[in-house]
Homo-oligomer: A and B are copies of this chain.
Amino acid sequence: MLVVMRPGATPEQIKTVVERIRSLGFAAHTMPGEHTTAIGITGNPGALDPGLFEELSGVAEAIQVTHPWKLVSREAHSEDTIVRVGSMNSGKPSAGPVTIGAAEVVIMAGPCAVESLEQTVTIARAVKAAGAHILRGGAFKPRTSPYSFQGLGEEGLKILAEARREVGIPIVTEAVDERSLDLVEEYADMIQIGARNMQNFSLLRRAGRAHKPVLLKRGISATIEEFLMSAEYIASEGNYAVVLCERGVRTFADHTRNTLDLSIVPAVKRRSHLPIIVDPSHGTGRRHKVIPLARAGVAVGADGIMVEVHHDPEHALSDGPQALYPDQFVELMQELRALAPVVKRTIHSVS
């Protein structure tokens, strides 16, 4: 059930609706838009009578939500959500804010894994200079083998924070369990949930209680409904600042590591108000395909691109073959800046 308020409804009217919802034992989710406010109801075991709300003053209508996702659906919130990353999100020294989901196409770049302070700062400076808006880098690495490098952990987070201080752009990094999420929430500006954890529901709920925006990667064989329902887990705990990320799905095709499914971008835009970005590095697994697929990601309408960059990929501890060289990243940024206006977007440099 979704209660849509009239344009100009007062805070008191909204409050009355929320209290009615709570008095019935359900949860109320207030979603203010530019013109109207909608209030989502969750926790109800079955269909509710619209009449319970439609007679309240300031209510335009109460509608049954037919899709299983609610808070993240276009029906719940017709305007695009804009997610802010950085500065506002933390008492600690930060950077930003960067907004995702508005006219700007946001570029996230950095190493796959944080390996050392020198490596991270070197790459951070290069990607910042080329125009990246957010620095990425893994401190906790989910790896198929227990014997592979698993990341530097909290030490890696400290290195990322130091790199942010150096270059002045926000940082995004992955949390792999609730303990690491506590740390990521403390140090980083945006919390990444990786593809393997897209249906780790306990972790999603914890992310839903975090005070930082979340970057949710699509699971390797997730349908669009499962993807949006995982975002719904986060939103249902109160954190609506969720950015989706397509990073390739598993198919029979063997010319790329995964098959980048760009058609999900317009599909998500129709069903949900959340921003969605594209990661062509994991999506292809090969450096020479990253640039063409990044261009395609902007052309298809993504709100951002996440790419891996390494100054010395031959010696990278993780996923070297998919990392761009810094000069390739400069070239990519030039192409994307030329491309963005075609889809009525922009890519500015961070001053």
Contact = CB atoms under 8 A, between A and B. Distances in A.
Contact of A201 (B146, B179, B289, B295): B146
Interface stretch (A10-18, A118-126, A131-139, A338-346): A338-346
A292 to B, nearest CB: 5
A48 to B, nearest CB: 13
Contact of A251 (B43, B142, B252, B298): B252
Interface of A is mostly: helix
B223 A221 contact: no
A264 B226 CA distance: 25
B298 A292 contact: no
A43 B43 CA distance: 47
A47 interface: no
B224 A221 contact: no
Contact of A267 (B178, B232, B289, B299): B289
A223 B253 contact: yes
A201 B299 contact: no
Contact of A199 (B144, B233, B254): B144
A310 to B, nearest CB: 20
A266 B250 contact: no
Contacts of A264: 253, 255
Interface in A175-209: 176-180, 196-197, 199-203, 205
How many chain copies?
4
Nearest to A227: B255
A259 interface: yes
A305 to B, nearest CB: 12
Contacts of A249: 251-253, 259
A145 interface: yes
A229 B254 CA distance: 15
A250 B229 contact: no
Given A259-B261, A263-B255, A267-B256, A292 B288 contact: no
A224 B293 contact: no
A301 interface: yes
A252 B197 CA distance: 19
Interface in A131-162: 142-147
B146 A232 contact: yes
A300 interface: yes
B342 A295 contact: yes
A283 interface: yes
Interface in A268-296: 270, 283-284, 288-289, 292-293, 295-296
22 contacts: A68-B147, A142-B201, A143-B201, A144-B199, A146-B232, A177-B178, A177-B200, A196-B201, A197-B199, A223-B253, A223-B254, A249-B259, A253-B264, A256-B267, A266-B289, A266-B292, A270-B288, A295-B299, A295-B342, A296-B296, A296-B297, A338-B341
Q: Which 8 A-B pairs have the closest CB atoms?
A: A299-B299, A177-B202, A221-B221, A296-B296, A196-B199, A295-B299, A255-B267, A296-B300
Interface of A: 42-43, 68-70, 142-147, 176-180, 196-197, 199-203, 205, 220-221, 223-226, 229, 232-233, 236, 249-256, 259-267, 270, 283-284, 288-289, 292-293, 295-301, 335, 338-339, 341-343
Given A147-B236, A180-B202, 10 more contacts: A68-B144, A146-B205, A146-B232, A221-B252, A249-B252, A259-B261, A263-B293, A266-B288, A295-B299, A342-B342
